[in-house]
Amino acid sequence: MKRMAIYPGSFDPITRGHEDLVSRALTFVDEVVVAVAHRRTQAKGGLFSIPERVAIIEEVFADEPRVRVAEFDGLLVDFARQLGTHMVVRGLRAVSDFEYEFQMALMNRQLWRELETIFLAPDARYSYLSASLVREIAALGGNVRGCVSAPVLRALGERYPHLAGAAPE
């Protein structure tokens, strides 16, 4: 039986930290579904549309056949049931992440007892990194080359001319 995990998030944009967590998850599962969530509570649409995020993530993982990208709307537990998986992977960068993630894991388990959440710590190089930080630095003219892979940097370059043509580190 194939072991599959869902790695849900907004991924606006996907960062090296997200990529690191996918790589770590692939050490104990056969497939990771990077699930781009529609956020009903999000006041604005984000930097990239959902289809753009999916396309960027597919390009980032183009050489990894064990990664699938999907989008979902609604409850994570319903999406997990639909995929036939019982495992969710979430990253914890700092203690501040723990309270929110723990609460979500318990609520998901309340909604579906068979769903387990696995918490992973990122590589120390990425413990400070978040998509919102990447967006803000890019918007303010900063260098995000070490924070994102080439497909993300290209997409950011389309939004922010100072990043156009920048080579990833």
Sheet holding 87-91, edge to edge: 67-72, 31-37, 4-9, 87-91, 116-120
Confidence of residue 97 (pLDDT cuts 50, 70, 90): confident
pLDDT confidence of 1, banded at 50, 70, 90?
Answer: confident
Q: Could you tell me the residue ranges of all domains in the chain?
A: 4-127
Instruction: Give the three-state DSSP class for 6.
Output: strand
Collect contacts of 51-57 with beta carbons under 8 A, ≥24 apart. Answer: 52/155, 53/10, 53/11, 53/12, 53/13, 53/14, 56/13, 56/14, 56/151, 56/152, 56/155, 57/11, 57/14
Band of the pLDDT at 4, cuts 50, 70, 90?
very high
**For the residues 99-118, what does the mean pLDDT come to?**
96
The answer, yes or no, to whether residue 98 has pLDDT greater than 60, is: yes
* Phi–psi pair at 95, nearest 5 degrees: -55, -35
- Quote the tokens at residue 48: 């990239």
Domain 4-127 has CATH 3.40.50.620: yes
Looking at residue 163, what is its pLDDT?
77
pLDDT range class, residue 105, cuts 50, 70, 90: very high
- Tens of pLDDT, residues 70-79: 999 999 999 9
